[in-house]
Amino acid sequence: MTFTQAASPRSPWNRVWLGVVGVILLILLVSSPIFVRTFLFQPFSAPSGSMSPTLQQGDSFFVSKCAYGYSHFSLPFSPPLFSGRIFGSEPARGDVVVFRLPKNTSTDYVKRVVGLPGDRIQMKQGLLTINGTPVQRERLVDFIGGDLCGSDPAARVKHWRETLPNGVSHEGVRARSDGSTFTQATGRAGRLRPKSEQRYQLGMSKPDFQPTLIGPTVIIRPVVAEDWPELFAAGSDPLIWKVHPSPDRYTEPAFRKFFDGAVASKMGFVFVDRATNRLIGSSRYHGYDAERREIEIGWTFIVREHWGGPTNREVKRLMLDHAFTFVDTVIFWVGERNWRSQGAMTKIGGVRRSGLFTREATGATPYFIFEIGKDEYEQGGRALVE
């Protein structure tokens, strides 16, 4: 004989409690900062203006992590667990995106997408042109709040509303409309070419010699006249210039000449420590040769508290990355007795040209010239300034 024991009926309250506990656990999981940061949204702050007046210095904003799928950069610390994108999709014209360049995965850029793969993008006399057709634009009230070229903090600049071919419109300003033209190389199918990746070619007008470059610990921005007191305070240390061809540059008259030359060059920069917002040095581009596709980086100094650390490599990497978007060779003039800078050049892959050289500005002072080629830099030299 077989006996069957009837199961006791489960209380409906057990199911209710299980449901409540499940909802609570789901809420805790979704609200976890790690979950939100990895899969939903990531916070950013703008250390400098971008797409003015869209983003101003100091703005904070969130970026959707799932809009275009997930790459290994979506994960905390960017572990290289996989390549490509999961659930990937392309941006649309007018989207504001945060991205990293393939050759520089340590710096985040914020830009608006105006071109898609296969497009030809040009700027003609300050007017955005896509595949030969100028975008529609409407003049708005002038923007007041500083010349984007850094020359006049109270300048009025032209303010426009641009409408892209897909009907998306945005506001923007143009620092100048001087007849200049640049062309961005046609994007390959399947790959977007952000504006910051544009390549200048022979026959085009001069590139942007005073961009704002943002690294993990340093911001490189155009020098302006108002930087004088703080930059002189940073450069008035005699030990900075001890082995320099101009050892008296720590004095006010000599540093004033140095500073005024940087401002007048329209190629000068200051280095801003992102942790303290202090000026910690300066540099500039010089002597752009379009035919030889060559430019100089020089007049560089950094306060002594940043010697021997990553700062010099970071500023060199940022300036080299930008220079190699429009030249094939970057040169550095280093004083014959400036053994410290000679050693620094060797560490970042600089190759010394044979012989000694002099320049008109410094009379008979002998210099070595070090050069870094674009091909060598991209094929491994860049790792030396990581």
Q: Note down pLDDT in tens along the chain; length 386 residues.
A: 444 444 445 556 566 666 766 776 666 555 566 655 556 667 766 666 667 667 766 777 777 777 777 777 777 767 777 777 777 777 888 888 877 766 666 677 788 888 887 777 777 666 788 887 888 877 777 766 555 544 455 666 777 788 888 888 877 766 544 444 444 444 444 444 444 333 333 334 468 899 899 888 999 999 999 999 999 999 999 999 988 888 899 999 999 999 999 999 999 999 999 999 999 999 999 999 888 889 999 999 999 999 888 888 899 889 999 999 899 999 998 888 888 788 878 877 888 988 888 877 666 788 899 999 888 888 776 776 66
Q: Is residue 50 part of a domain?
A: yes
Among candidate residues 162, 268, 211, 175, the one with its CA nearest the CA of residue 48: 211
289 and 234 in a common domain: yes
- Please tell me which residue in 50, 196, 283, 341 is annotated as part of the active site: 50
Residue 27 is assigned to a structural domain of this protein: no
Q: Is residue 60 exposed (0-12), middle (13-18) or buried (19+ Cβ within 10 Å)?
A: exposed
* Residue 317 domain flag: yes
Inside any domain, residue 156? yes
Query: Could you tell me if 165 and 270 lie in one domain?
Result: no
Q: Is 276 helix (H, G, I), strand (E, B) or coil?
A: coil
Cα–Cα–Cα angle for 52, 57, 62, rounded to 5 degrees: 90
Same domain, 275 and 318: yes
Residues in the chain: 386
Say how many C-beta atoms besides its own lie within 10 A of residue 370's C-beta: 21
Interior/surface letters 154-166, b for 16+ CB within 10 angstroms, e for the rest: ebebbbbebebee
Kindly state whether residues 187 and 226 are assigned to the same domain: no
Specify if 7 maps to a domain. no
Residue 347 and residue 350: Cα distance in Å, rounded?
A: 7
Q: Is 48 helix (H, G, I), strand (E, B) or coil?
A: coil
Which residue reads 């903090």 in tokens? 153
Q: Domain for residue 33, yes or no?
A: no
**Residue 299 in contact with residue 258, Cβ under 8 Å?**
yes
The answer to whether residue 245 is domain-embedded is yes
Q: How many domains does the chain have?
A: 3
Q: What was the pLDDT predicted at 265?
A: 92
Strand partners, 119: none
Range of the domain at 84: 40-110
Whether residue 52 is found in the same domain as residue 148: no
- Let me know if 74 is a catalytic residue: no
Contact present, 113 and 86 (Cβ < 8 Å) = no
Q: Which of 65, 111, 195, 266 is catalytic?
A: 111
Query: Does 195 qualify as catalytic in the annotation?
Result: no
Same domain, 235 and 355: yes
* End-to-end C-alpha distance for the chain, whole angstroms: 82
Q: Is residue 89 part of a domain?
A: yes
Distant-in-sequence contacts of 39-46, Cβ < 8 A, 24+ apart: 39/65, 39/66, 39/70, 39/74, 40/64, 40/65, 40/66, 41/65, 42/98, 44/98, 44/108, 44/110, 46/110
Q: What angle do CA 304, 224, 218 make, to 5 degrees?
A: 45
Separation of alpha carbons 373 and 380, rounded Å: 11
In this structure, are 323 and 356 located in the same domain?
A: yes
Q: Provide the token pair at 283.
A: 């540099």
Encoded amino acid at 383, one letter: A
Are residues 269 and 313 both part of a single domain?
yes
CATH code of residue 377:
3.40.630.30
